[in-house]
Chain A
């Protein structure tokens, strides 16, 4: 009896090994889904939240009004803003706007709370640098990449 059971197990085990091999062979003959990264690249979906960028206005400059809503919402506190009041001008004047990409967690909340569409997430993901100081993005650097913001509120 034990012999028969052992033979039965052997046959069953071999059969399921065979089924598994057929499955893997089928996949082996398919086209590979991996890509060779530095040579080939994925195309990002338009909404992909890469890094934060400033949206250029009609004059090519930024649209920030220094309302500081983005600073209020930022969970990582990576945005710094310098502003001052000036006589005759309504609101604030922006002196400097800096985002430390090294601290940013790419949540996109700053883009969402911005009432003036001054910020957008652009699908850029290769931001490695050799020096940490290069990760601090100021206004010209934030304006350097322009894309139609698809991630609508």
Chain B
């Protein structure tokens, strides 16, 4: 008996977010589904918009410094360092070497903290709870080091125009040594739990593949770009602060799937660990802040583009000054926004269950997208 065995389906829409736990903040995706397959995805951003750029234009340069920490709160030091770099470039201030090393070291610590969160949250999205706790445990160690120097755990407000706010306390070195000793073993634990886990591999290998050319076209940067086989890292290609003296070789993988995006970050944690070690060994003596830099500077008129390699990618800041004590234009180029921009092209054709690993592997942070 000949029957029509094909099941006729109807497309339907699923709202993912803005309160979905795996959207890492408030992000809404309207997924058009055909059964289990995604047909179309309509991303909605802007729930966390705080008009950071306008806030910067209405405040003194120093007043925006603690605010810059809140643009990307998981890697807040990078935003404030970029802010300081822009002002220093316009004022032509040379930062003392010790301050450069301190900034570099704490940026790397902050990178480890951010990647630890990625490790935990990405695994949690895939249903593994243990890595989440491990990631947060190691993040606590880096937070301790940052807290004892800067005074805060998340919003550090550490760099200043022409240097940094505070020198290392005496108790720092013992705690840092303990951290440096313990941390490689902890990364090995991470790798043992997830790297070869069959369930993890099945859900991430070959999922959400992006090749290098497409990644560049969409303005991807950071670990996501390097997972697609593009050898570009600002620390290596355009060294700033102390990276030039320390030397850094970017971690590059080639497959461009979710698994490689995960693995790049794990390998970067090891690289950061080595950098921190080098920083502590080669820490020069001297002042931590350039003398005679006003707390309320009048920045000479001009335009400048400062960029740092944040854990999410290329964090850029375009600053136009008209010679007063407030910025005339403050344009942010945040990596998360560009990394997220491809989500509409990546999702059609994948299963609903793959949406979460693809979105999670991009490691976007919503305040950074909306800013």
Contact surface of A with B, Cβ cutoff 8 Å: 9, 12-13, 16-17, 19-20, 22-24, 27, 33, 45-49, 72-75, 105-109, 112-113, 121, 151-152
Contacts and interface: CB of A to CB of B under 8 A. Distances in A.
16 contacts: A20-B192, A20-B194, A20-B197, A24-B130, A45-B147, A46-B169, A47-B166, A48-B147, A72-B296, A73-B62, A73-B63, A75-B59, A75-B65, A105-B155, A108-B151, A108-B157
Contacts of B59: 75
B169 A47 contact: yes
B308 to A, nearest CB: 20
B62 A19 contact: no
Interface string B160-188: 00000110010000000000000000000
B189 A23 contact: yes
Given A75-B59, A108-B157, A27 B166 contact: no
Contacts of A48: 147, 151-152
SS class, residues of chain B in contact with chain A:
helix
B60 A20 contact: no
**Chain B, interface residues (CB within 8 Å), range:** 20 to 34
B147 to A, nearest CB: 5
Given A45-B147, A48-B147, A72-B296, A19 B66 contact: no
Nearest to A72: B296
Nearest to A15: B196
B2 to A, nearest CB: 33
Interface of B: 59-60, 62-67, 130, 134, 137, 140, 144, 147-152, 155, 157, 165-166, 169, 189, 192-194, 196-198, 295-296
Contacts of B196: 12, 16, 19
Contacts of B296: 72-73
A148 to B, nearest CB: 14
- Of the listed residues A12, A22, A107, A151, the one surrounded by the most CB atoms of chain B closer than 10 A to its CB is A107
B71 to A, nearest CB: 14
User: Which 5 residue pairs across A and B have the least CB separation, nearest first?
Assistant: A107-B66, A13-B198, A16-B196, A49-B151, A75-B63
A107 to B, nearest CB: 4
A47 B151 contact: yes
Contacts of B147: 45, 47-48
Contacts of A12: 196, 198
Nearest to A45: B148
Given A27-B134, A47-B166, A73-B296, A109 B62 contact: yes
